[in-house]
Amino acid sequence: MSETGSPRHHRRLQVFLLKYFDAEQWSREYAEPGGWQFPYALDSMCNDDVELQWSDAARRPPWTNRLIQGLVRPLERLGAPFLDVLVSTRALGRADAVLSVFESQANAFALLRSLRIPPYTRPRLAVVSCWLAEESPRFSRSRRALYRFTYRRVDRVVYFSRNQTAVYRDVLRVPEERLACVPFGVDHEYFSPQELAEDDYVLAVGRDRGRDWATLFEAVRDTGLVVKIACRPGELGSLTVPANVEVLGTVDRSTYRALTARAKVVVVPTHVRAYPSGQSVLLEAMAMGKCCIVTDTPAIRDYVVDEHDGLLVSPNDAGALRGSLQRATQDRGLRLRLGSAARKAVEDSFTAEVMWDRIGEILGSINP
């Protein structure tokens, strides 16, 4: 209350979103009526404290004409969407904070900010990072130096597993007080248990570069298990697909949900990565109450407790993966127990609303 006894005016935090997707196209092609309109339920960040703003002007005429695109593409190939930033300069300058989803979207803005070019110096800046902790240790000396220069003006780096902290701190030299680990979350209302009969197949889904299809194929070959894989066929490279594996190609969101609902077991085989590879598929399947088998990596341990809400198997261990698949497909009681605990874990800790609320709070906590 003010000194006169009247309520203080509550001003919402104006957050400008730098994003990788076309909002109108995504909403038209993928969003469900009455559901969230952005990928990862990002628009759930909008509440009494946060107002989300964005622009898709760079994806519309006149910016899409051939001459402009010819000038812009060489810069974009460097991993910095300059056009999105430049055409949004006025809105960016008026915002209280800028949120970049994901790290490449931040590069142009962060560089201009580090060069102290107004108005890019005004708003607070947070970057949601997925792959940078994996890639930055392999950067050339010059590229690493450029990232260190650019990220010195990033107010918060947000990431999804605790093991990444040391990389951002030691490799990119981001001060630890600017680092924020936030558990990833999914749309647990869209991905909820479905009243569909369980079918007799194991499901694997993914487009992530960290998927270990070779170990999965070795694990299921000649087992009699029926396996369905939803991925781009080209991602399988020269691997020989076992006869009991059906490659579905890419599927739309509703088909993916139905496939998950009917699966007996969902398996997420990955290589060891700094980031939690396969987290979306894993948590969406857990949210649907499915029994999940996932590769045990330092990052994924933030999401699964072995034998409680999922089964962890050692990396690159086809024998261990085969054993867990056979055990889970043959034991309905185990599937029900793990699936029930998995759904509760998501409801308690891994929802999109919780994730974006936390990121909104982080933005609000940064000193202007």
Q: Please indicate, yes or no, if residue 190 is contained in any of the structural domains.
A: no
Q: What is the CATH number of the domain that holds 345?
A: 3.40.50.2000
163 shares a domain with 28: yes
The pLDDT of residue 6: 42
CA–CA dist 8, 14 (Å, integer): 18
The pLDDT of residue 2: 34
Q: Quick one: tokens of 124?
A: 């607070």
Q: Please indicate, yes or no, if residue 7 is contained in any of the structural domains.
A: no
226 shares a domain with 177: no
152 shares a domain with 75: yes
Please give the full DSSP string across 41-96, using - where no structure is assigned: GGGGG-SSSEEEE---GGGSTTTTSHHHHHHHHHHHTTT--HHHHHHTHHHHHH-S
Q: Please indicate, yes or no, if residue 194 is contained in any of the structural domains.
A: no
CA–CA dist 257, 9 (Å, integer): 43
What tens digit of pLDDT does each residue of 177-230 get? 999 999 999 999 999 999 888 999 999 999 888 999 999 999 999 999 999 999
320 shares a domain with 306: yes
Beta bridge mates, 125: 98
Cβ within 8 Å of residue 300, ≥6 positions away: 161, 270, 276, 277, 278, 279, 282, 294, 312
228 shares a domain with 160: no
154 shares a domain with 25: yes
Q: Please indicate, yes or no, if residue 240 is contained in any of the structural domains.
A: yes
Q: Please indicate, yes or no, if residue 192 is contained in any of the structural domains.
A: no
What tens digit of pLDDT does each residue of 81-107 get? 888 999 999 999 999 999 999 998 999
173 shares a domain with 27: yes
255 shares a domain with 276: yes
Structural domain harbouring 171? 13-185+352-365
173 shares a domain with 217: no
278 shares a domain with 361: no
254 shares a domain with 179: no
Cβ within 8 Å of residue 361, ≥6 positions away: none
The pLDDT of residue 67: 86
Q: Please indicate, yes or no, if residue 313 is contained in any of the structural domains.
A: yes
What tens digit of pLDDT does each residue of 34-53 get? 889 999 999 999 998 999 99
**Residue 211 CA, distance from chain mean position:** 15
Confidence check: pLDDT of 72 > 90: no
The pLDDT of residue 1: 32
For the segment 271-286, the average pLDDT, to the nearest whole number, is 97
73 shares a domain with 147: yes
Q: Please indicate, yes or no, if residue 294 is contained in any of the structural domains.
A: yes
**Residue 101 CA, distance from chain mean position:** 9
**Residue 305 CA, distance from chain mean position:** 20
The pLDDT of residue 9: 53
pTM: 0.93
Question: Total structural domains in the chain?
Answer: 2
Please give the full DSSP string across 277-338, using - where no structure is assigned: TTHHHHHHHHHTT--EEEE--TTGGGT--BTTTBEEE-TT-HHHHHHHHHHHHH-HHHHHHH
Q: Please indicate, yes or no, if residue 25 is contained in any of the structural domains.
A: yes
For the segment 245-262, the average pLDDT, to the nearest whole number, is 95
